[in-house]
Amino acid sequence: MPNRLSAEPSPYLLQHADNPVDWYPWGEEALEKARREAKPILLSIGYSACHWCHVMAHDCFEDAEVAAVMNRLFVNIKVDREERPDLDQIYQSAHQLLTQRGGGWPLTVFLTPDQTPFFAGTYFPKTPRYQLPGFIDLMENIGRAWHERRGEVLAQNEAVRTALAQQQPAPGVQQALSDAPLAQAVRDLAEAFDPVWGGFSRAPKFPRPGELFFLLRQAQGGNAQARDMALVSLRRMASGGVVDQLGGGFCRYSVDEQWAIPHFEKMLYDNGPLLHLYADAWALTGEPLFADTAEGIVEWLLREMRAPEGGFYSALDADSEGHEGKFYVWTPDQVRAQLPAEEYAVAVPVYGFDLPPNFENASWNPILARPLNEVAAELGLSADAAAARLANARAKLFAARETRVRPGRDDKQLTSWNALMIGGLAHAGRVMNRPDGVDAAYAAIDFLHQNLWRDGRLLASFKHGEARLNAYLDDYAFLLDALLETMQAGYREADMGWACELADALLAHFEDREQGGFFFTSHDHEALITRPKPGYDNATPSGNGVAAYALQRLGHLLGETRYLDASARCLRLFQGQLTQQPIAYPTLLAVLDETLLPPRVILLRGPAAALREWAAALNPKLGARDVLLVLPNGLGLPAALAKPESDQPAAWICSGTACQPPVTELTAVLG
């Protein structure tokens, strides 16, 4: 019989609806049952595309013997971390406290009935292996501890709650802001940098867009070391198997230091910022690899992740037919069967199919193993002929792959992740002159506004025509930032109006007016055991960093001191952490950078056709601290943007409160 999860819209929860476990979704029914029966809670947090979540489900949650112990000893709650990032943040922090090591998914936490965690782990097998205890033995031991040593457990609770509360940032002694954290962050990254393969860690390697955004900002300011670290990392990632060489788009991370073998799930939240980054890298260098990688992300997105309503789905699974990566990898015979000899001769060395198998010693995940021009020279081909053969080979391999059983797709549409992709699409679209990307960004903005904006408040998730869940800081902050990007790709009056509404909602519902910064949950959100105020960047940028960044930019555009002051309060709150460990806060480093030297705002006014020509010339040449708004005659504009209409294009350029006289020559703006 299906359990209570069968009524939930989350694809992850529905994956567990037929388990023999008596699962509850998070909510008052389960929490009240735990209190009434004085039973501990077994909280399991994961997401639909998570490989090890599937493994634990098969090992444990689908097993009748395991389920019987779970049902006897605990109230069992299953949470989709993508729908409830508030719960995930709290209990990942608790895992760090209780185990003194990082967490991950699946997250397995045992709570007292008042929601306080007292034991935490991640994946557990049914029987002992991988140096992990068996899940049945673990649960029996925890059950005994709860019944026989409850006083010790409850005494620990107070210490855990205190420790969680102490993780919140607190204002320190106010010091003058300086650029010292920017220089220190470059030095810290240089110490961690892998000069051979790029990135900032050994295996596993994550793309970490925040650090790369920071380095590109520094590169545009003339820092050669920052430029080298960013471009080497972006080249190596784009040449590896962490990007889908046939279908486009990035997987979540690489399990090896060479970016060759990913965990094969593809997440929307990675690909939006990476699209932005690769467009910037192309604008900085003109390298075709960067343009190809950006265009591959867009092609994948519009082909596989776009919903009919205009928003974007959340993720693709790592597994198909019960095996991770099966959809993506090849044997030599499979490749040979698809390609004529002349195309095979080019594709095999380029994609590394002539090297030892790189996936489980049996098959190949395609990488860019050798430069095409090198292979062309060996085969006596012109560059154009080799490129044509490779393009034909790629198309045939892609078409053959499309006939395979596809990985599952998580088809819920999240406001925050959509916003990250909207920002990437709009930015890449204007920098690389891809109108289809900009149009897709507009369509997604309009979808969110129509379906997830109710009575001046956002909702967090949309599926099967239903919007649900009180939105979080990230939803508001990322969407405000995305609107600033879409307005630079093409100004729409409604977008500016919505941006101001979102900014006002951020201040009204999330800001801590006394201490500064923004809580992750709104003031009227469900009360949990702690209320985080996160400032450091994870796989996604920090909500506080993006809120402060976007409010500061909107404040400069409109001359609105409320937004500028809120951004300044947030930066001051995190100043101590920014000084001590700057590279954990790359988004707040951008806020600091633009506090010390405000962004350059360029307003173009005049006839629409002429302004399009100016914008096309300007966009690839602008830097990270430039904000360009193209404002054709006839638009209704806020007072701060309402420059005089003219028969000829003109540019107004300001930085902070210092503005230049209008210029009517494009060369003067480019200079």
Average confidence score pLDDT of the chain: 96
pLDDT > 90 fraction of the chain, expressed in percent and rounded: 95
pLDDT of residue 658: 86
Name which of 367, 263, 254 is nearest 315 in CA terms: 263
**Token pair of 9, please?**
């819209």
Mean pLDDT on 480-497 = 98
Q: Calculate ∠ Cα 428-431-433, nearest 5°.
A: 90
Q: Are residues 428 and 483 in the same domain?
A: yes
Q: Is 80 exceeded by the pLDDT of residue 48?
A: yes
pLDDT of residue 553: 98
**What is the arithmetic mean of pLDDT over 216-233?**
96
- Which of 648, 634, 311 lies closest to 493, judged by CA? 634
Same domain, 608 and 580: no
The distance in angstroms from the start CA to the end CA of the chain is 70
Structural domain includes residue 604: yes
Same domain, yes or no, for 213 and 114?
no
Its sign, for the CA torsion 596, 568, 280, 240, is: positive
Q: Please, what is the Cα angle at 26 between 24 and 32, to 5 degrees?
A: 80
Region of 87 (left: φ > 0; alpha: ψ -120 to 50; beta: rest) is: alpha
Q: Under a CB-based contact definition with an 8 Å cutoff, are residues 467 and 455 in contact?
A: no
Report the distance separating Cα 356 and Cα 241, nearest Å: 15
- pLDDT, residue 582, reads 97
Do both 417 and 364 map to the same domain? no
Please give the residue range of the domain that contains residue 90: 4-166
Q: Which two tokens stand for residue 59?
A: 């090992």
pLDDT, position 657 = 79
Omega before residue 204 within 30° of 0, cis:
yes
In this prediction, what percent of the chain has a pLDDT beyond 70?
100
Distances (CA, A) of 577 to 77, 168, 188, 574, 583: 35, 11, 15, 5, 10
pLDDT at 86: 97
Task: Give the CATH number of the domain where residue 359 resides.
Answer: 1.10.10
Residue 171 lies in a domain: no
Q: In this structure, what CATH number is given to the domain that contains residue 289? A: 1.50.10.10
Give SS3 for 486: helix
Categorize the per-residue pLDDT at 469 as very low, low, confident or very high, splitting at 50, 70 and 90. Answer: very high
Pairing of strands 315-316, 253-254: unpaired
pLDDT at 67 exceeding the cut of 80: yes
Q: What is the pLDDT of residues 169-178, one digit of tens each?
A: 988 778 899 9
Query: Is position 172 within any domain?
Result: no
One-letter amino acid at 117 equals P
Q: What is the mean pLDDT of residues 153-160?
A: 92
Per DSSP (E only), the strands in 92-137 are 107-111, 117-121
Question: Of 596, 611, 646, which closes a domain?
Answer: 596
Assess whether 483 and 434 both reside in one domain: yes
Which H/E stretch holds residue 482? helix 473-489
Q: Considering the domain boundaries, does residue 314 fall inside one? A: yes
Same structural domain, 101 and 187: no
What is the sign of the dihedral through the CA atoms of 19, 95, 49 and 369? negative
> Are 33 and 122 found together in one domain?
yes
Residue ending a domain, choose from 596, 626, 644: 596
- Counting Cβ atoms within 10 Å, is residue 470 exposed (0-12), middle (13-18) or buried (19+)? middle
Name residue, tokens 């630079």: 488
> Both 306 and 230 in a single domain?
yes
Supply φ then ψ for residue 323, to 5 degrees: -130, 135
Q: Considering 137, 166, 195, which residue would you say is the last residue of a domain?
A: 166
Are 451 and 547 in a shared domain? yes
- Residue 385 sits in the same domain as residue 423: no
* Confidence band for 638, pLDDT divided at 50, 70 and 90: very high
On the question of pLDDT at 454 being above 80, the answer is yes
Domain CATH for 142: 3.40.30.10
Number of domains the chain contains = 4
- Radius of gyration (C-alpha) of the chain in whole angstroms: 26
Cα angle 413, 414, 418; round to 5: 90
Confirm if 509 and 501 have CB atoms less than 8 A apart: no
Q: Is residue 148 part of a domain?
A: yes
Residue 591 and residue 604 in one domain: no
For residue 453, is pLDDT > 90? yes
Q: 384-442, pLDDT tens digit by residue?
A: 999 999 999 999 999 999 999 999 999 999 999 999 999 999 999 999 999 999 999 99
Residue 53 domain-assigned (yes or no): yes
Quote the strand ranges of 238-367, DSSP E. 253-254, 262-263, 266-267, 315-316, 319-320, 323-324
Q: How far apart are CA 365 and CA 245, in angstroms?
A: 9
Whether 157 is covered by a domain: the verdict is yes
How much is the pLDDT for 670?
83
Domain contains 173: no
Based on the domain organization, do 34 and 132 belong to the same domain? yes
CA contacts within 13 A on the Cβ side of 465: 0
